[in-house]
Structure 1
């Protein structure tokens, strides 16, 4: 064995991003000893992830593994409650079963929370103790991280800014309410708005049209930014974070939604303490990096328990 290491796995619908890193926690993001992608195992997810872990960690002494999953997770039991993208994992005690197969402690966490921890610890929120992270995509994921730990709330569902009602008589949301933030700024909502305005293609095409000053795209993007600003003003009033980090597929460079939203918040704030609203830094690897952070914490706790 050459060195101690931890492994972070970010499991998606089609691929698993893996990152092997030092077991030692530090303020600096650890360099990857190895990282890459592998197909998401389809037949037996536990056996497939175990085989991936063995292959990636050959030659190192593995101390802990953390697995980030898109869906609802019972972190205490290491169980995947429900995952729309990975139904084979529904109800599966992934943590204990994978731990039995590879012989090290395994933690299971939600992928959005993993990304939030990564951004708070080593990304755009580094150095700030109170960070709220938003991921703009098909849905709107949110997580509040204080001192490196996600504040889950009493029932594990805190941070759902995507289901703050912005337009009370607006479109129906998949959650059953009308006018949630997701019905205005989620990727499907933007795609529908762009199509209804005569545009073609995905939201990326709409943002390209915005850059070309297409009046239709400008109207849709400005409306989306104002809706997000509404939600963030509520967030500032209730949570008062030190920084708001915005990432996800709809917030990539040139970060128009981020800059427009920040300007709208600054213009409309009254008693609110306006904090920096900044783009995320870690991109698509944030989930794997956050899983590494969780694995480091798990390794440290395990060592303390044994000592």
Structure 2
């Protein structure tokens, strides 16, 4: 029997994380390779084709590529990507599929990571999972029975733009006091530097762990604000599990712990589900891509 491979590419501004999975006789994927490589700076279609051939050879059965930005998954088109502007307007799925002669799907990177965490990561065992990534921005995604519930207009899950401080800082979205203006990495960095601290938000969190008086009010405020946003989420969505990841949620998970404590203190009618840290880390996007490829293959076989 011919060996078949599925390739997942999680494309970032400077690097690509990939997983290559071999499909066994019972159609189960087995990861045989994962690694990182540099993101091509030009001629992305030809470059991605070369990457796929170099990794998988001639036995490729399908590719899923995760892109940071807005994508039309139905047509495989990159609508807009701030980090990869040379992909804007490129019909990447169709063009790459024609070259490789295999199905190529294009997905948003946050959604790929959310699907991975919901199905194979910290949300495993729950049919209704809301994932939240804390970083430069605050990305949310609701996964129900393994599929993203994107809303009528494809923008559901934007918890970063829940207003937590009505008279707060102006957000890039035009509102004031969005969660991102309090707990996003740039906001934490500004607050830390204004207090006399140095370095990154991670340095702020380390200082908090060490009892630095300058860090305490900044991190406590961030934890309370995240907790208030989570209470809104519980009231509106009622998820079965909340998974929180991203660089600002990594060990020692202090922001997550503070937020959960705030939720427990302020809850009234709310049913508080497990609120847990993500497990897949930097590989979540690539894992999600392979999972989406497996699902597509299964649908094709049964159609």
The yes-or-no answer on 1:113 pairing with 2:97 is no
How far has the Cα of 1:2 moved from its partner? 5.3
**Whole-Å Cα distance in 1 between the matches of residues 102 and 200 of structure 2?**
43
Aligned to 2:296: 298
Aligned to 2:285: 287
Kindly provide the CA deviation profile for residues 41-95 of structure 1, in whole angstroms up to 9, marking residues without a partner as x.
Answer: 1111111111000011026x22211100000111111111100000011111111
SS in 1 for 2:193: helix
**Whole-Å Cα distance in 2 between the matches of residues 74 and 194 of structure 1?**
38
Aligned to 1:202: 200
How far has the Cα of 1:304 moved from its partner? 2.9
**Whole-Å Cα distance in 2 between the matches of residues 128 and 58 of structure 1?**
36
Quick check: 1:169–1:178 contact (8 Å CA) kept in 2?
yes
**Whole-Å Cα distance in 2 between the matches of residues 16 and 103 of structure 1?**
22
How far has the Cα of 1:12 moved from its partner? 0.3
Quick check: 1:166–1:179 contact (8 Å CA) kept in 2?
yes
Quick check: 2:227–2:262 contact (8 Å CA) kept in 1?
yes
Q: What's the TM-score once normalised by structure 2's chain length? A: 0.97
Aligned to 2:262: 264
Give unmatched runs, 5+ long, in structure 1: none
How far has the Cα of 1:294 moved from its partner? 0.8
**Whole-Å Cα distance in 1 between the matches of residues 22 and 170 of structure 2?**
46
How far has the Cα of 1:303 moved from its partner? 2.4
Aligned to 1:179: 177
**Whole-Å Cα distance in 2 between the matches of residues 55 and 303 of structure 1?**
26
Aligned to 1:37: 36
Change (3 A) 1:250 1:38: same
How far has the Cα of 1:24 moved from its partner? 6.4
Q: After TM superposition, where is structure 1 displaced by more than 3 Å over at least 4 residues in a row?
A: 22-26
SS in 1 for 2:288: helix
- The correspondence of residues 121-132 of structure 1 with structure 2, limited to 5 A, is 121-132=119-130
Quick check: 2:10–2:18 contact (8 Å CA) kept in 1?
yes
SS in 2 for 1:216: coil
Aligned to 2:11: 11
Change (3 A) 1:218 1:148: same
The yes-or-no answer on 1:53 pairing with 2:33 is no
Kindly provide the CA deviation profile for residues 135-186 of structure 1, in whole angstroms up to 9, marking residues without a partner as x.
Answer: 0000000000000000011111110000111111110111111111000000
Quick check: 1:119–1:280 contact (8 Å CA) kept in 2?
yes
Aligned to 2:186: 188
How far has the Cα of 1:114 moved from its partner? 0.4
**Whole-Å Cα distance in 2 between the matches of residues 241 and 6 of structure 1?**
31
Q: What's the TM-score once normalised by structure 1's chain length? A: 0.95
How far has the Cα of 1:31 moved from its partner? 4.1
The yes-or-no answer on 1:215 pairing with 2:213 is yes
**Whole-Å Cα distance in 1 between the matches of residues 25 and 206 of structure 2?**
41
Aligned to 1:252: 250
Quick check: 2:241–2:273 contact (8 Å CA) kept in 1?
yes
SS in 2 for 1:215: coil
Quick check: 2:24–2:30 contact (8 Å CA) kept in 1?
no
